[in-house]
Structure 1
Amino acid sequence: MPEVVFPLDSTRSFTDQSLVGHNRWHPDIPAQVHVRPGDSFRVHAREWFDGAIRNDDSADDIRDAPLNSVHVLSGPIAVEGARPGDLLIVDILDVGPIPQEDSGPLAGQGWGYTGIFATQNGGGFLTEQFPDAYKVVWDFSGQVATSRHVPHVSFPGLVHPGLMGTAPSADLLSRWNAREGALIATDPDRVPPLALPPQPDSAILGTLSGSEFDRVAAEAARTAPPRENGGNQDIKNLSKGTRVFYPVFVDGANLSLGDLHFSQGDGEITFCGAIEMGGFIDLHVDLIRGGMDTYGVAENAIFMPGTTDPRFEQWLAFSGTSVTLDGEQRYLDSHLSYQRACLHAIDYLTTFGWTPEQAYMILGAAPIEGRLSGVVDIPNSCATVYLPTSIFDVDIRPSAAGPVRIDPGQGVPRSSF
């Protein structure tokens, strides 16, 4: 096992550890760990809410989830000799739930969860159709996830970090805040908001304290969206065996990570849409000097996916176009067309007896595939969502006999404001 360079004790909170990570992006958050090019090492990661979500049959914790506190990230990890303009090579050697802890109160100790966020607390991809808070708890058995809240479904997880990235430079941070602030200003009272501005409340900034903490907290960017540094990309294929090339914007690169997922469908459509957990990740790092200019990788991370994906032989796919539910035509709106594809899949699964919320959770947590299938034929874009048929214990393919009716069980716990 590689050396653990960022340990976490499951009996203590994230801010009561020997090394304290962070939950904001800023170039002046000091590195907690230093490694060298060519090193392999292990990092522990806490579930993104640091234990606020419980293994029970209530969704009140999702309703009250403290969004100002996310994401709790392990790092920064400085790579010796990394300079702005380099590319940081990060190999994911292994990733999984909390080792040797298969029961306990923390997500990652043999279980994880998926949530639909209430509109007033961030919403989700389909927040207009699902405005309230719901929660599903999943149990892990080896690589397989099952849930008492979504019966007749089981699937192998594709474990991956939802969030990993390098620190921004001061200039890049300023550009983030300016462009996102301008977007917020177009509709400042929107629910959910158009973007998340810097928020000092609940900021965790590693070893910073006093006036320096206050300055950085007022400037630091929230970790919710993906940006030029990688960040919260929620790409399910960043799994074991993946190689990622991250732009370097500060000396040392200052790599950070967190938000581990046991499984996720493309898009993480319920917002808390993956199976969230804490766990570990083993990494190997190296550098390409001047790689940002050499390869034109200045505003994005690129990656080579791992080869550990679950293998499914049959899929049932649903398509959607850029027409709203009330019949309004939109021009090549791929976001809308993927929403419509997902809604079509949800409607279809309800004919078998799953509730709409159970079907929505399946799309968020299971390793479905989402694709942009047509983006050139005006005015309609076409998006598709692929469901692997083998994750269900009934045959979901259309037939002359009609859909088999399942018992939906206790259903998905709901909490409303």
Structure 2
Amino acid sequence: MPKPVFPLDSKRKFTDQALIGHNRWHPDIPAQVQVKPGDTFRVDCREWFDGAIVNDDSADDVLNAPLAGVHVLSGPIAVEGVQPGDLLIVDILDVGPIPQEDTGPLAGQGWGYTGVFATRNGGGFLTEQFPDAYKVIWDFRGGQATSRHVPNVSFTGIVHPGLMGTAPSHDLLRKWNAREQALIDTNPTRVPALALPPNPDSAILGSLSGSDFERARNEAARTAPPRENGGNQDIKNFTKGSRVFYPVFVEGGNLSMGDLHFSQGDGEITFCGAIEMGGFIDLHVDVIKGGMATYGVTENAIFIPGNTDPQYSEWIAFSGTSVTLTGEQRYLDSHLSYQRACLHAIDYLMTFGYTDIQAYMILGAAPIEGRLSGVVDIPNSCSTVYIPTGIFDFDVKPGKNGPAKINPGMGVPKAAA
């Protein structure tokens, strides 16, 4: 096993650990660990809510989730000799659930969860159709995920970190805050909000203390969106065997990571989506000196995906175009066309006996493929959703005898907003 450089004790809260990570982006958060180019090491990661979501049949914990405290990230990890303008090479050698126990109280110890936030808490990709809070528990066994809340489905996990990135510079942080506040100002009362401004409440900034902590907690950026430093990109193929090239904005790079997923569909459309868990990630790091200028990577990481994904050979696909549910034509709106493709898939799965929220949870957690299939044919973009047929234990293809009828079981726990 690679040397653990950021260990976490599963019996202690994130803020009670020997090394305390962070849940905001700020250049002044001190590195908790230093490694060298060429080093291989292990990092433990806590589930993004630090244990607030539990393994039961209620969605009250998702409705009342402590959103100001996410994401709990392990790091920063400084790489010796790395300077702004370099490219930090990060190889994902292995990633998986918490290995200490088969079952336990924390997501990752034999189980994980998929949730839908209430609209007032950020909602999801289909928040107009699903405005309340929901939760599905998934059990892990032999690399497979099954759920008592979504029967007749099982699939192999594509385990990956939802969030990994380098620290921003002061200039980059100011740019983030200015542009996101300008967006908020266009509709400051919108629900859900257009963006999340800095929020000192529940800020965790590693070992930063005193007046430096007080200043930084009011400046630090929330970790919810992806940005130029990588961050919360939620790329399902970002798994074992991947190599990432991160732009470096501060001395040491200050790499951080967390928000591990057992599986996810393209887009993580339920928002508290994927199958959330805690676990470990083994990394190897190196550096390309001056690589940002050499390769034109001035912002946003590039990566070479791993090749460990489950191989599904048969799919059923659904398409959508950029026309609203009320019949309004939009111009090449790929976001809308992907929503419509997802809604068509949900309608289809309901004919087999699933509820609408069960179908939505399948799209969020299972390894579906989402594609932009046409973005030039005015006025309609076309997006497609591919569902692997092998995840179902019944024939999900259309046939002359009509759809098979499954028992939807106990259903998905709901907490009305």
With the length of structure 1 as denominator, give the TM-score of the two structures. 1.00
Paired with 1:102 and 1:218, the residues of 2 have a C-alpha distance of 40
* Aligned-residue offset at 1:299: 1.2
Q: Which position in structure 2 is the counterpart of 1:356?
A: 356
Q: Which position in structure 2 is the counterpart of 1:63?
A: 63
Give secondary structure in 1 for the equivalent of 2:184.
Answer: helix
The one-letter amino acid of 1:144's match is Q
Paired with 2:253 and 2:102, the residues of 1 have a C-alpha distance of 34
Q: Which position in structure 2 is the counterpart of 1:308?
A: 308
Q: Runs of 4+ in structure 1 displaced over 3 angstroms?
A: none
RMSD between superposed Cα atoms in Å: 0.4
* Aligned-residue offset at 1:101: 1.3
Superimposed CA distance per residue, residues 258-280 of structure 1 (whole angstroms, 9 cap, x where no aligned partner): 00000000000000110000000
Q: Which position in structure 2 is the counterpart of 1:87?
A: 87
Q: Which position in structure 2 is the counterpart of 1:407?
A: 407
The one-letter amino acid of 1:274's match is A
Q: Which position in structure 1 is the counterpart of 2:105?
A: 105
The one-letter amino acid of 2:278's match is G
2:350 equivalent to 1:346? no
* Aligned-residue offset at 1:287: 0.2
* Aligned-residue offset at 1:60: 0.1
Give secondary structure in 2 for the equivalent of 1:267.
Answer: coil
Q: Which position in structure 1 is the counterpart of 2:222?
A: 222
* Aligned-residue offset at 1:100: 2.8
Superimposed CA distance per residue, residues 46-66 of structure 1 (whole angstroms, 9 cap, x where no aligned partner): 000000000000000000011
Paired with 1:116 and 1:89, the residues of 2 have a C-alpha distance of 34
* Aligned-residue offset at 1:241: 0.2
Q: Which position in structure 2 is the counterpart of 1:376?
A: 376
The correspondence of residues 255-334 of structure 1 with structure 2, limited to 5 A, is: 255-334=255-334
Q: Which position in structure 2 is the counterpart of 1:122?
A: 122
Superimposed CA distance per residue, residues 204-253 of structure 1 (whole angstroms, 9 cap, x where no aligned partner): 00001121111000000000000000000000011000000000000000
Q: Which position in structure 2 is the counterpart of 1:390?
A: 390
Q: Which position in structure 1 is the counterpart of 2:34?
A: 34
Paired with 2:34 and 2:150, the residues of 1 have a C-alpha distance of 43
Paired with 1:242 and 1:53, the residues of 2 have a C-alpha distance of 29
Paired with 1:333 and 1:102, the residues of 2 have a C-alpha distance of 45
Superimposed CA distance per residue, residues 1-52 of structure 1 (whole angstroms, 9 cap, x where no aligned partner): 0000000000000000000000000000000000000000000000000000
Paired with 1:300 and 1:406, the residues of 2 have a C-alpha distance of 44
5+ long unaligned stretches in structure 2? none
* Aligned-residue offset at 1:375: 0.2
The correspondence of residues 16-35 of structure 1 with structure 2, limited to 5 A, is: 16-35=16-35
5+ long unaligned stretches in structure 1? none
Give secondary structure in 1 for the equivalent of 2:42.
Answer: strand
* Aligned-residue offset at 1:173: 0.3
Paired with 1:317 and 1:387, the residues of 2 have a C-alpha distance of 6
Paired with 1:407 and 1:218, the residues of 2 have a C-alpha distance of 51
Give secondary structure in 2 for the equivalent of 1:163.
Answer: strand
Paired with 2:86 and 2:208, the residues of 1 have a C-alpha distance of 27
Q: Which position in structure 2 is the counterpart of 1:180?
A: 180
Q: Which position in structure 2 is the counterpart of 1:168?
A: 168
The one-letter amino acid of 1:192's match is P
Give secondary structure in 2 for the equivalent of 1:41.
Answer: strand
Give secondary structure in 1 for the equivalent of 2:152.
Answer: coil
Quick check: 104-113 or 205-214, which moved more? 205-214
Q: Which position in structure 1 is the counterpart of 2:231?
A: 231
Paired with 1:358 and 1:15, the residues of 2 have a C-alpha distance of 35
The one-letter amino acid of 1:250's match is V
The one-letter amino acid of 1:297's match is V
Paired with 1:143 and 1:219, the residues of 2 have a C-alpha distance of 41
Give secondary structure in 2 for the equivalent of 1:42.
Answer: strand
* Aligned-residue offset at 1:102: 1.4
Give secondary structure in 1 for the equivalent of 2:2.
Answer: coil
Paired with 2:279 and 2:18, the residues of 1 have a C-alpha distance of 17
Quick check: 146-155 or 206-215, which moved more? 206-215
What percentage of aligned pairs have identical amino acids?
A: 80
Give secondary structure in 1 for the equivalent of 2:17.
Answer: coil
Q: Which position in structure 2 is the counterpart of 1:209?
A: 209
Paired with 1:37 and 1:144, the residues of 2 have a C-alpha distance of 35
The one-letter amino acid of 2:4's match is V
Paired with 1:11 and 1:338, the residues of 2 have a C-alpha distance of 41
Q: Which position in structure 1 is the counterpart of 2:248?
A: 248
Paired with 2:224 and 2:116, the residues of 1 have a C-alpha distance of 16
Q: Which position in structure 2 is the counterpart of 1:154?
A: 154
Paired with 2:87 and 2:328, the residues of 1 have a C-alpha distance of 44
Paired with 1:303 and 1:142, the residues of 2 have a C-alpha distance of 28
Q: Which position in structure 2 is the counterpart of 1:75?
A: 75
Paired with 1:20 and 1:41, the residues of 2 have a C-alpha distance of 18
Superimposed CA distance per residue, residues 305-347 of structure 1 (whole angstroms, 9 cap, x where no aligned partner): 0000010010000000000000000000000000000000000
The one-letter amino acid of 1:334's match is S
Superimposed CA distance per residue, residues 138-184 of structure 1 (whole angstroms, 9 cap, x where no aligned partner): 00002100000000000000000000000000000000000000000
Paired with 2:153 and 2:302, the residues of 1 have a C-alpha distance of 33
The one-letter amino acid of 1:261's match is H
Give secondary structure in 1 for the equivalent of 2:273.
Answer: strand
Task: Kindly tell me the number of residue pairs found equivalent between the two proteins.
Answer: 417
